Amino acid sequence: MADRDDKNRKIVFTGASGGIGTMIRPLLAKHYPGLVLSDRAKPASLLASETFVAADLTKPDEVAAAVKGAHSVIHLGGHSTEGAWDAILQANIIGCYNLFEAARLAGVKRVIFASSNHAVGFYPRKRKIRTDVTVRPDSRYGVSKAFGEALGALYADKHGMSVTCIRIGNVGPKPLDVRRLSIWISPEDITQLIRIGLEHPDIRFDIVYGASDNEASWWDNSRARQLGYRPTGKAEDHRAHAVAEQAKVGPDPVGDLFQGGTFTSAEFTNDPKRAGP
């Protein structure tokens, strides 16, 4: 595959200073020397092989400068949790559009978009879902991720860009509570999914779930496996830790019903029986 063999291609990584970016940068650097990191703030430390270009996603000129000459973009940048509408609008909607449009103008071939499980957070926990279900966002943040997926489809179909959307669960060394036993993904496994997005020759537009090999998973991730995904992390290895942490949290009458957890119960004014599909 030409993309896999070309070690000189420029890969831009937005959101490189964030929590996920900090965890996976060293793993990606092993496979892609010369990563160009971008964020509003410079990462605490740069590897010798990395360079940094400051860019605010809400400023088109800065985004254009960051992706100039890039072959591929790993787009993790933006507002990473629920927030006020204006914050979500600026970073995750306007900023996402700025990124895709700058990538198009720069001739970028591939974009890996960090979507989220919160784009489908109002599905009940008792239901296993595929990637082709109707989006049911659980928050303004979830709406912005559904928007990013739709934007990716537009740029794939209209402009021929290869776009991979990863509906990320929760990235970390271990699941933080019982809910995350179903949605956890290890840093190594999300790196594997990003590599598939960067290298697989058959991707035009795809959505996959960002989850490890979790026995309690709510998601059918068969498309990721068709693309070669072979997760090595297993949430069940950390069940005792997750159960112990859950005991500190206590019950959530709304959040415990739905896959999005506390994102569904925050600001909730509906009857739970009328929420979700």
* Phi-psi domain of 261 (left: phi exceeds 0; alpha: psi -120 through 50; beta: other): left
Pairing of strands 72-75, 11-14: parallel
Q: Which amino acid is at 166?
A: I
Q: How far apart are the first and last CA of the chain?
A: 41
Determine the Cα–Cα distance for residues 138 and 267; give it in Å rounded to an integer. 10
Query: Which listed residue (123, 141, 155, 209) is catalytic?
Result: 141
Contact 66, 59 (CB under 8 A): no
What CA–CA distances, in Å, run from 230 to 115, 167, 204, 216?
Answer: 20, 16, 20, 17
- From residue 47, how far is each of 29, 50, 67, 192, 234 by CA, in Å? 8, 5, 20, 20, 29
Q: Is 101 helix (H, G, I), strand (E, B) or coil?
A: helix
DSSP state of 258: B
Residue 155 a catalytic site member: no
Report phi then psi at 83, rounded to 5: -165, -175
Query: How far, rounded to the nearest angstrom, does the alpha carbon of residue 212 sit from its chain's CA centroid?
Result: 14
Helices (H), the chain: 2-5, 19-29, 60-67, 85-88, 95-106, 140-159, 180-183, 187-199, 222-226, 239-249, 262-265
Angle at 173 between CA 56 and CA 113, to 5 degrees: 35
Residues with catalytic function? 141
